[in-house]
Amino acid sequence: MTAGPITYRELDGIDVVRLRGVGDRKRAALAEFGVTSVLDLLATYPRRWVDRTSEARIADLELDREALVLVTVRSVRKRVTRNRRTMVTAQVGDGSGRMEVVFFNQPWREKQLREGLQIALFGKASAYRGGLQMANPIVDLIGDRTGRIVPIYPQSEKVQLATWELAAFVEEALRRCADRGIGDPVPAEVRRRLGLVDREVALRSIHLPETMRDKEQARRRLAFDELLRVQLLLVLRKRMLERDAKGVAHVLDGELVRRFHRSLPYPLTAAQQRAIVEIGADLAAPFPMHRLLQGDVGAGKTVVAVSTLLVAVQGGHQGALMAPTEVLAEQHAAGVRELLDGVTVPDPDNLFGDRPLRVELLTNRVTGAERKAVLAGLADGSVDLVIGTHALIQEGVEFSSLGAVVVDEQHRFGVEQRAALRDKSSGPVPDLLVMTATPIPRTAAMTVYGDLDVSVLDELPPGRTPIVTKAARGAAAEAEVWEHVRAAVAEGRQAYVVCPLIDESEKLEVASAEDTYRELDAGALKGLRLGLLHGRLGPADKQMTMDLFRSGGLDVLVATTVIEVGVDVPNATVMVILDADRFGIAQLHQLRGRVGRGDHASTCWLVTRPHGDAAPLVDAPGTNPRVEALVASTDGFELAEVDLDLRGEGTLMSTAQKGRSDLKLASLRRDRELVALARDAAFEIVDGDPGLARHPDLHDELDLLFTETDESFLTKS
């Protein structure tokens, strides 16, 4: 043993068998539980705490109200009912009274609940045969643990480990650590400023709290540690990229970008100006930009993206915009050409002082001589901006000097595709701007996109009309929806009707696009010009239908979610989403963004139908929190936070399984403030000590707790 406080590395090297009470059998049981070292044991936190000073007594229980009671088991019996269900009944008491507890179809309870055992029950009491009864409550075995607050650990029937045994092993481990103390790798100044208790106090108080306030302070400190480790990894990676990769130091003060901004029919919003300044600072730096541009549907991301690409062009480089689909790439190309119509590039070598700006499209649909001409222009530098799909990263595509890359809808591209596009440059690494129209909660953006800086467009440009969102449930409300559609068409407008499935599914009683098309054509929208669009149509049919709708040849487009991304028809002012309770918040918000793109007031109807027992996503009769959230707000960022609250969060590292580096106490949902504090602290530590040479214990902890798989998932996801 070395002198000084014990580190996590040392604790990880001490086998649990060295603790009193852990023999071969318990060691095997703990290993099944994922605990082999003392560090694993101390990081197995209680899942709840029973405050013995505030639990109810049986005599105080109120009927049909949830409560926690600590009781002793008096007797247990099991029987099989007439319909072959097992029923275990236990009589329990606590000195103030007696109660019956009944468990249906849980035969193993007979062995679990031995006479004389102390247990905590959480559930609702009801009146039964003149006494009290609790049916199927949550049961925690607490043994003879004393103290005001009793920790309840995760338990498993399979491995035969009781919560009081885990508590005893933890207590023994903490006692054995007391002489040397447990080291704290987080700088004292950071702890003091953020009001964090030191690590040894936190570990003791999470397992053996004197008060519930002690437990909360311990949770805050240990959750901060989890978040700080993740952020340190991301910030180290980010700073290393900036240090090692040679980028293009772009000149910002050029005439081309000014010409573009002067040519716009409306002034830039304050959010666009702020994003352009943030991006500009990155572009001027000698290392490559890595930035995420988050903007709600219609917030003007394209103008910011084009401004970024033109900075590269005015310095003699090229710009590339990569989109996930051919439809979206073609739409971007049309939109960008329209934005840049009449904008010329200052060129001192040109007789007229200016030259035309050359914008080209490259997808797999561009073939023959046209494709050869685009490829030659990219190679010799005569193409300034290229817009395309993954065709941009195929073999045979070479750039003369790629200076900036914009990737649209990042979640549809893998990191390898982004890297392949960057690698197309033979010289310095081009700057990368990733755009997403799916607002991400701030805490998630700081973590999931932790190696990217984030710019946010949080206001809409002038000319975007707000969208009124209404919920419609039941036949009468649905009739009103179709009346509204007919009225809008009578005024010369158009409408979308979105269905979740193409074919009827017996399991989910939802409207299919084909059936809905036939029903509306023959019924509620009879006489209007209806079109049908879904993923099973061939490309030519899809294109023909979309062109007809764009040109006003169709009044109503019945479609599946293929219209979610990239369909822009300013004259469409009504969006009807059928079975809206089948969609997630982000998808509903994306779909809603297809209207409100012109000068006319727009409406989005969220139609829900009673589905009976087959509707697991309908949360209560007549209500659905996702639908309610959409009706209440058009702010994508606010909705993203609501979505995180409703859905919760998965594991941070990967979908495979939770590793030892995953978040056990911290929550991106509940600890929003702590994520930001951990991010700031990580920058402070890394910027003052780039290799963590002066923080060896922190460095060692990252090595200990993160596998290479974790690191690559975090930095590439």
SS (H, E, C) 35-92: CCEHHHHHCCCCCEEEECCCCECHHHCCECCEEEEEEEEEEEEEEECCCCCEEEEEEE
Residues 334 and 382 in one domain: yes
Given pLDDT bands bounded at 50, 70 and 90, which one contains residue 49? confident
- Single out the residue in 116, 146, 176 at which a domain terminates: 146
Q: Residues 563, 569: contact at Cβ < 8 Å?
A: no
Query: What's the whole-model pTM score?
Result: 0.69
Least confident of 381-390, 424-433, 492-501: 424-433
Residues 271 and 403 in one domain: yes
Give the 3-state secondary structure of residue 131: strand
Give the 3-state secondary structure of residue 280: helix
Percent of the chain with pLDDT over 70: 86
Nearest to 577 by CA among 585, 527, 328, 639: 585
Is there a domain that residue 547 lies in?
yes
Q: What is the CATH number of the domain that holds 307?
A: 3.40.50.300
Given pLDDT bands bounded at 50, 70 and 90, which one contains residue 45? very high
Nearest to 363 by CA among 333, 392, 339, 328: 392
Q: Could you tell me which residue, 257 or 560, shows the higher pLDDT?
A: 257
State mean pLDDT over 592-611.
85
Given pLDDT bands bounded at 50, 70 and 90, which one contains residue 655? very low
Residues 319 and 418 in one domain: yes
Residue type, 671: D
Residues 362 and 275 in one domain: yes
Residues 312 and 395 in one domain: yes
Residues 118 and 266 in one domain: no
Residue 458 — φ and ψ, nearest 5°?
-115, 25
Is there a domain that residue 400 lies in?
yes
- Single out the residue in 581, 603, 633 at which a domain terminates: 633
- Which residue reads 């275990």 in tokens? 88
The pLDDT tens digits for 625-653 are: 889 999 988 887 788 878 877 766 555 54
Residues 604 and 483 in one domain: yes
Is there a domain that residue 405 lies in?
yes
Residues 593 and 512 in one domain: yes
Is there a domain that residue 174 lies in?
no
What is the pLDDT at residue 505? 53
- Single out the residue in 436, 456, 478 at which a domain terminates: 436
The pLDDT tens digits for 300-339 are: 899 999 999 999 999 999 999 998 888 788 888 988 999 9
Burial tier of 386 (Cβ tally within 10 Å: 0-12, 13-18, 19+): buried
Is there a domain that residue 44 lies in?
no
**Which residue range is the domain that position 341 belongs to?**
255-284+299-436
Residues 338 and 474 in one domain: no
E-assigned strands of 81-172?
Answer: 86-93, 98-104, 118-128, 131-135, 138-141, 149-152
Residues 415 and 477 in one domain: no
State mean pLDDT over 56-70.
86
DSSP state letters, 377-390: HHHHT---EEEESG
Percent of the chain with pLDDT over 90: 46
State mean pLDDT over 52-80.
86
Question: Measured between alpha carbons, how far is 299 from 290 in angstroms, rounded to an integer?
Answer: 21
Q: Residues 532, 512: contact at Cβ < 8 Å?
A: no
Question: Measured between alpha carbons, how far is 103 from 65 in angstroms, rounded to an integer?
Answer: 18
Q: How many domains does the chain have?
A: 3
Cα 549 to the center of its chain, rounded Å = 34
Q: Residues 575, 539: contact at Cβ < 8 Å?
A: no
Residue type, 250: H
Contacts of 643 (CB under 8 A, 6+ apart): 441, 584, 585, 586, 626, 629
Residues 407 and 275 in one domain: yes
State both tokens at 216: 């909360």
Residues 538 and 599 in one domain: yes
Given pLDDT bands bounded at 50, 70 and 90, which one contains residue 408? confident
Q: What is the CATH number of the domain that holds 125?
A: 2.40.50.140
Cα 27 to Cα 15, 31, 160, distances in angstroms: 9, 6, 12
Is there a domain that residue 179 lies in?
no
Is there a domain that residue 645 lies in?
no
Is there a domain that residue 305 lies in?
yes
